[in-house]
Amino acid sequence: MKKTRFTSFVFGPLAGVFLVIAANAFVAHPAKADTAPVFTSGPTVSTVADTVADISFTADSFAADQNGTYYLYYTDETFSEVDTSEEVRDSSQQTGIFSTGSEAVAALTDLSANMAYYVKVVLEDSEGVLQEKPATIILETLEPYVLFAPMATPDAYLIDMDGGIRNTWQLTDLTTSVYLLEDNQLLAPYHVPSQYFQEGDAWVGGGIEILDWCGNRVYSYELKDNPRYHLHHDIERMQNGNILATAYERITRQDAIDLGFDESYINEYGEVWSDAVFEIDLETGEIVWEWHVKDHLLRSGSESSDYPGLINPAYPLTLNSTDWLHINAIDYNEALKQIILSVRNFKEIWIINHALTESEARGHLGDLLFRFGNPEAYGESGDAEFDRGQHDVHWIDPNSATSNILLYNNKDEYHDGTDTSTVVELKVDTPYEFGSATIVWEYGDDTGEEKFYSNVVSSVQRLPTGGNLICSGADAEMMEIDENGNKVWEYVNTEYGAAFPDGSFVTHVFRAKKYYLDLE
């Protein structure tokens, strides 16, 4: 079943939820019985955090347009004053769009732990037909934890807010981004040696594995010794259970020249390492969807400003590495069916369309939908927003079509040791316009009380409280700021890392994530 969510999958510190569907599960008030929208599953609790609960459901609308509107009302009283579907609709605290066969998630906010709440979800199709379903939720307390993995080790750590280790996982090899799944399983990429990708950043990928709480491997996937591709940097789990992964794609010297690449991008192995995006079915290990940068290159002799949806293989880079683009983050928006990429060497973020067949993805429909950060990369004038590049680009709410975008801006403006990084929130209007986005919030440098700097890696996570978890990876510093910018928590990883031959002890952290769990 196709799923679409409409609220955030990042949650706050104190609330857990159990949901009981009331006995009077269906109460219908249809104007036309043969067109009434129908709940096909739920409502159930999908996620909770702090004073936030998410109610999920799946529904069908039998109106012509096959979608409709949901309204959600909740109270800690009984429903004596809000009984009918019409009254729920008119008094709702939450509203959104549902699509036939897709999962919708409605957010409940400002709740209190250890309280019972009474909920009604009302569906309305385009013909005004209403259908409602009640539920009861009881909130219980969860505790916050932070997950991180030092880049120089194969280990991942879950710490409490006092810095105590609550669990450790040992991966097959070195890792970057690590994620907690259902049942507290760990999902992570890991290093797989390759005879075809010897240096550069090839070490940061190649395999994907899932470990249970006790560290037992329950799943693994390797794109091993593939002469053309090698997974790297980041992965993103989709709601259908598949994994999106970034991959290097080897292009020979002659092919690179024929494609219009500047010869300076041919690396020491006589190749260009371009990029691709793969969707991997974890059950079968098959690549079920793919997108390739090389299919969307500007042709020699064309003006980049005339084709901003194409990537210029001759654009002069100021950030260089063995790999050409150095894509370091990937995220997926279920509501938009779109993928966002952090392209460090171009100092840009790109958005591409995932709602395409593989054939369409190779053609012009697969060109960039949106790009932002460096207008010179597509032939326009203007300074780069991300001087040193950026990391951890993602939608704040990956289930919302109107979500803002969050990222860590590494920055390296002065090159004299006085640099400070920032975290940035972008608002991107639709329909997309290349290079058009508004910075609606920025913290760090001269914009916040706390200053931090990392010229590489790093991350930021918006919390349900309105605060943010910031990881400055080069210094292995993790801190939480509240919605007013005040530091409320800090942890610096000085203990977990690896010693190098030059005597250094490296504790770099690629990314940190906060989770809310019941570990008792």
Q: What is the pLDDT of residue 68?
A: 81
437 lies in some domain: yes
CA distance 179 to 330: 13
Kindly state whether residues 159 and 130 are assigned to the same domain: no
Domain tally, the chain: 2
Distances (CA, A) of 158 to 149, 326, 402, 421: 9, 28, 32, 25
Is residue 423 within 8 A of residue 443, CB to CB? The reply is yes
Kindly state whether residues 136 and 166 are assigned to the same domain: no
Q: What is the pLDDT of residue 1?
A: 37
Q: What is the pLDDT of residue 39?
A: 83
Kindly state whether residues 319 and 455 are assigned to the same domain: yes
Q: What is the pLDDT of residue 64?
A: 57
Q: Which of 91, 124, 141 is the last residue of a domain?
A: 141
Which pTM was predicted? 0.80
Kindly state whether residues 409 and 274 are assigned to the same domain: yes
CA distance 264 to 343: 18
Q: Which of 141, 161, 182 is the last residue of a domain?
A: 141
Q: Which of 107, 126, 141 is the last residue of a domain?
A: 141
Q: What is the pLDDT of residue 413?
A: 59
74 lies in some domain: yes
Sheet holding 206-211, edge to edge: 179-180, 186-191, 206-211, 217-222
Kindly state whether residues 251 and 380 are assigned to the same domain: yes
Is residue 91 within 8 A of residue 82, CB to CB? The reply is yes
**Angle at CA of residue 145, ends 242 and 506, nearest 5°:** 85
450 lies in some domain: yes
pLDDT tens for residues 119-144?
A: 888 888 777 788 888 777 666 667 89
Kindly state whether residues 130 and 180 are assigned to the same domain: no
Kindly state whether residues 150 and 130 are assigned to the same domain: no
Query: Quick check: helix, strand or coil at residue 446?
Result: coil
Kindly state whether residues 80 and 159 are assigned to the same domain: no
Place of tokens 């290093």: 191
Place of tokens 């203007």: 382
Kindly state whether residues 290 and 349 are assigned to the same domain: yes
Kindly state whether residues 154 and 295 are assigned to the same domain: yes
4 lies in some domain: no
5 lies in some domain: no
Selection from 293, 258, 259, 256 nearest residue 271 by Cα? 256
Largest CA distance in the chain: 77
Element (H, E) at 249: strand 243-252
For the chain, residues with pLDDT lower than 70 are 1-35, 45-51, 62-66, 78-83, 112-115, 137-141, 199-204, 413-418, 447-448
Residue 389 belongs to domain with CATH number: 2.120.10.30
Kindly state whether residues 438 and 349 are assigned to the same domain: yes
Q: What is the pLDDT of residue 17?
A: 35
70 lies in some domain: yes
Residue 116 belongs to domain with CATH number: 2.60.40.10
Kindly state whether residues 106 and 244 are assigned to the same domain: no
112 lies in some domain: yes
8 lies in some domain: no
Structural domain that includes position 74: 15-141
Query: What are the structure tokens assigned to 125, written together?
Result: 């199709």
